[in-house]
């Protein structure tokens, strides 16, 4: 049963949007009493008639006492201040009054997250998902496209929960590639730095489709500089406890944030295209990773647009980069078409050669790695930046 706190006559369409088994109460005190009577309750919807400050205090209290409970706030007006304060207080979603479709989706999303958080509260073994970082030192190789489609391929079985993290903090393209509205981004985690938990992280992600969520890059100029690398590490640590796979899309440069992601990664997907500048940068990347003492056992090299007629064979690519190629993704004009439509090609056309190549790589190189191969961050820290 879901609790709706709204001290007024409740419209029937509001209740139907929340779902079945809705229990209406007049105030937050009555909501607390209802919670004490039902220890299995996991969702409270706070209506627009409840004062915002009281609702946020209520949510902050629940976040500490019963973190598996989701709070959804309905407001007559939703602005940046309300969203920021709500995220800080642990509210999972803020929905505009009258947007019943958004309210229904928010309730479904919150219930799914509560089920996951509740599992940890019951003393079950700690979930330890895998972090997969997609990197290329040269722009234009298709990192974002590969990262999103790899995540979609991992989520295709509907048995895994996947989160894509857009770590290109200044120029991230994940949101626009799948046509998501970046209402919540990584920058909203700043007030939670140092004490981020599952409930806080859940309030940051944007649901794309069942089993596939996105943590989007900031959209406000200057926000990228505010995000410390330590917060990236904290986010990834919490997210891997919530998801089976966390796929990290990166900028085309080694930065403190990228190296932090690589430190905690179970798999490095290193991307190139069959052209001399990209292969040169890949060779430098491989040398750098060796210098920083990352394990070669967690490394996969993928050639994107591998069938481009540029005078280089697969053997030529292997000789230039001096590494085995673990994945070949063909080129196709259908890929930019799928991007422009906002639907990953793995989802739009699963039988397409590009989709099959990415799904095969996901199956043979990511899913088949049953145990994470850990490296030693200490060696990387000592060698990398003194």
Q: Closest Cα partner for 67 from 127, 13, 10, 115?
A: 115
Q: Please give the structure tokens belonging to residue 23.
A: 């229990």
Q: Please give the structure tokens belonging to residue 231.
A: 């917060």
CB 289 within 8 A of CB 265: no
Residue 351 pLDDT greater than 70, yes or no? yes
More confident residue, 95 or 117: 95
Residue 241 pLDDT greater than 80, yes or no? yes
pLDDT of 133: 98
Model confidence band, residue 60 (pLDDT cutoffs 50, 70, 90): confident
pLDDT of 379: 41
Mean pLDDT of 235-246: 94
pLDDT of 247: 98
Q: Closest Cα partner for 236 from 260, 219, 267, 268?
A: 260
Residue 122 pLDDT greater than 90, yes or no? no
Q: What SS3 class is residue 77?
A: coil
pLDDT of 381: 43
Sheet holding 206-209, edge to edge: 206-209, 212-215, 162-166, 245-249, 130-135, 267-272, 299-304, 327-329
pLDDT of 38: 78
pLDDT of 127: 66
Torsion angle (degrees, nearest 10) of CA 151, 156, 161, 166 = 20
Q: Closest Cα partner for 120 from 189, 202, 60, 190?
A: 202
pLDDT of 263: 93
Q: Closest Cα partner for 257 from 351, 163, 138, 133?
A: 133
Element spanning 198, H or E: helix 198-202
Phi-psi bin for 179: left (phi > 0), alpha (psi -120 to 50), beta?
A: left
Model confidence band, residue 257 (pLDDT cutoffs 50, 70, 90): very high
Residue 124 pLDDT greater than 50, yes or no? no
Model confidence band, residue 115 (pLDDT cutoffs 50, 70, 90): low
Model confidence band, residue 255 (pLDDT cutoffs 50, 70, 90): very high
Model confidence band, residue 168 (pLDDT cutoffs 50, 70, 90): very high
Say what percent of the chain tops pLDDT 90. Answer: 52
CB 70 within 8 A of CB 111: yes
Could you tell me the end-to-end alpha-carbon distance of the chain, in angstroms, rounded to an integer? 56
Mean pLDDT of 266-290: 92
Model confidence band, residue 209 (pLDDT cutoffs 50, 70, 90): very high
Taking CB atoms within 8 Å and a gap of at least 24, the contacts of 90-98 are 90/59, 90/60, 90/62, 90/63, 90/199, 90/200, 90/203, 91/55, 91/56, 91/59, 91/203, 92/199, 92/202, 92/203, 93/203, 97/48
Mean pLDDT of 135-156: 95
Mean pLDDT of 295-306: 92
Residue 384 pLDDT greater than 90, yes or no? no
- Please enumerate in sequence order all residues whose Cβ is within 8 A of that of 6, keeping only pairs 6 or more positions apart, or say none: 14, 24, 26, 45, 46, 47, 48, 49, 50
Model confidence band, residue 369 (pLDDT cutoffs 50, 70, 90): confident
The dihedral sign for the CA sequence 277, 278, 283, 287? positive
pLDDT of 121: 46
Mean pLDDT of 224-230: 93
Q: Among 75-89, 116-130, 185-199, 236-250, name the one with the lowest average pLDDT.
A: 116-130
Give the position of tokens 């007559």.
76
Mean pLDDT of 306-331: 79
Q: Among 193-197, 216-220, 315-319, 350-354, name the one with the lowest average pLDDT.
A: 315-319
Mean pLDDT of 35-42: 80
Q: Is 360 exposed, middle or buried (0-12, 13-18, 19+ CB in 10 A)?
A: middle
pLDDT of 371: 47
Please provide the average confidence, as pLDDT, over all residues in the chain: 86
What domains appear along the chain, each with residue ranges and CATH number?
2-121 (3.40.50.2300), 130-384 (3.40.50.300)
More confident residue, 196 or 370: 196
> Which residues share a beta bridge with 73?
46, 94
CA distances from 367 to 11, 36, 127, 154 (A): 47, 42, 16, 8
Q: Spell out the SS3 assignment of 269-311.
A: EEEECCCHHHHHHHHHHHHHHHHCCCCHHHEEEEEECCCCCCC
Model confidence band, residue 157 (pLDDT cutoffs 50, 70, 90): confident
pLDDT of 10: 67
Give the position of tokens 């991230």.
172
Residue 339 pLDDT greater than 60, yes or no? yes
């Amino acid at each position: 049963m879901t609790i709706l706190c709204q001290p007024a006559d409740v419209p029937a369409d509001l209740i139907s949007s929340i779902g079945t088994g809705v229990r209406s109460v007049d105030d937050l005190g009555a909501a607390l009493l209802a919670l004490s009577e039902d220890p299995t309750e996991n969702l409270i919807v706070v209506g627009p008639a409840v004062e915002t400050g009281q609702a946020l205090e209520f949510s902050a209290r629940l976040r500490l006492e019963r973190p598996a409970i989701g709070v959804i706030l309905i407001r007559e007006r939703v602005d940046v201040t309300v969203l920021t304060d709500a995220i800080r207080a642990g509210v999972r979603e803020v929905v505009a009054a009258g947007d019943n479709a958004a309210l229904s989706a928010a309730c479904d999303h919150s219930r799914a997250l509560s089920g996951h958080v509740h599992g940890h509260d019951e003393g079950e073994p700690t979930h330890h998902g895998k972090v997969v970082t997609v990197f290329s030192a040269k722009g234009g190789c298709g990192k974002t496209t590969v990262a999103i489609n790899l995540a979609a391929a991992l989520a295709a079985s509907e048995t895994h929960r996947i989160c894509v993290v857009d770590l290109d903090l200044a120029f991230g393209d994940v949101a626009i590639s799948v046509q998501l509205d970046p209402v919540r981004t990584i920058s909203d985690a700043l007030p939670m730095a140092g004490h981020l938990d599952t409930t806080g992280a859940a309030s940051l992600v944007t649901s794309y489709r069942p089993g596939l969520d996105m943590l989007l890059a900031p959209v406000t100029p200057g926000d990228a500089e505010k995000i410390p690398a330590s917060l990236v590490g904290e986010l990834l640590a919490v997210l891997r406890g919530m998801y089976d796979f966390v796929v990290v899309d990166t900028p085309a440069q080694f930065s403190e944030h990228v190296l932090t992601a690589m430190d905690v990664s179970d798999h490095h997907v290193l991307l190139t295209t069959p052209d001399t500048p990209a292969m040169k940068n890949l060779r430098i990347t491989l040398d750098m990773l060796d210098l920083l003492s990352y394990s070669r056992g967690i490394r996969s090299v993928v050639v994107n647009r591998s069938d481009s007629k540029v005078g280089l064979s697969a053997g030529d690519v292997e000789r230039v980069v001096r590494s085995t190629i673990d994945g070949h993704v063909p080129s196709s004009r259908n890929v930019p078409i799928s991007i422009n439509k906002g639907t990953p090609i793995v989802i739009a056309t699963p039988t397409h050669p590009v989709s099959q190549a990415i799904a095969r790589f996901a199956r043979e190189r990511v899913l088949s790695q049953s145990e994470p191969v850990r490296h030693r961050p200490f060696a990387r820290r000592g060698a990398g930046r003194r």
